[in-house]
Amino acid sequence: MSRRAAVLGHPISHSKSPALHRAAYAKLGLDIEYSAIDVTVERLPAFMAGLEAGDDWCGLSVTMPLKTAMVDEVDEVRGAGAFLGVINTVAFEDTGHGVRRVGHNTDVAGIVEAVRNAGVTEQPHSAVLGGGGTSAAAIAALRELGSKHVDVFVRDAGRAAEAKAAAAAVGLSIRLRPLAEAAEGMAGADLVISTLPPRAADGVAARLEQLPDDVWGVLLDVAYDPWPSRIAEAWHSRGGVVVPGLEMLLYQAVEQIRLFSGSDVTADVIDVMCDSVGLPRRV
């Protein structure tokens, strides 16, 4: 019997999630149809209310700007999502008495695996750009990597509630700083995670290009369209290591596929997922 899954967000046409999921399900021999659906925050309650159990939904990937709003649309939140208040995954579980919608946050695992794959060691001196839903996952990932403190650079400190809540939840010291100071602040960091939307970091990149000294750390830019981003190019030109957002997307999708299908995602499955979005196969 065919099952359904989808990625929800607004806008959504740029999403690489369909390519990743479809490649994995084909390799696994699973009949799961995966699509992209444009849903705004305002339309989300009606969309979720309209999902019928008979439609055989097995999962939803959740991207911006829905990661916080989706918490109110599920029956239960597990793992990191429960204390972050931010989820990017909904798994549909058959309890025998109906279908239960369970929220998860696989962004945390996606970030940790992506930066570890780039050689980031424990307790990195860290910085985060942006204070929204993805920054919450970044802060939780930094805590898992052993960081004790993080500087979070934001355009508006009044809109950084998710970052502050995440830091309090995981016990990480946080300092909010203006985005105008980001270039200088990130230049000396071991690990920088940019959670800003595409092109929103262009001003930071322009300032970074003007700094007198090179950088030596790792930059993960979660935005991947267009790629390379200007901040990624600036970081790389100054000697730093760049991790594309597709790496994070890959590893968070691996966790989603396990939740949606109940199948083990082996190395050969990850390889075809890499092929689908132009990433190098894992060694």
Contact 195, 167 (CB under 8 A): no
Task: Report in angstroms the alpha-carbon separations of 19 from 108, 240, 245, 281.
Answer: 21, 29, 15, 15
Q: Which residue shows structure tokens 């901040």?
A: 231
**Residue 170 in tokens:** 């995981």
Rounded to 5 degrees, what are φ and ψ at 149?
Answer: -145, 150
Return the closest-CA partner of residue 58 out of 35, 79, 86. Answer: 35
Return the closest-CA partner of residue 269 out of 24, 1, 21. Answer: 24
Beginning with the edge strand found earlier in the chain, give each strand of the sheet holding 126-129 in spatial order. 173-178, 149-154, 126-129, 191-194, 218-221, 241-244
By DSSP bridging, strand 191-194 and strand 32-38 are unpaired
**Burial class, 192, CB count within 10 angstroms (exposed 0-12 / middle 13-18 / buried 19+):** buried
Task: Report in angstroms the alpha-carbon separations of 123 from 143, 144, 196.
Answer: 8, 9, 23
Give the integer Cα–Cα distance in Å for 80 and 104.
7
Q: Say which amino acid occupies 199.
A: R
Residue 227 DSSP code = S
Q: Which residues are known catalytic residues?
A: 67
18, 23, 27, 33: CA torsion to nearest 10: 30
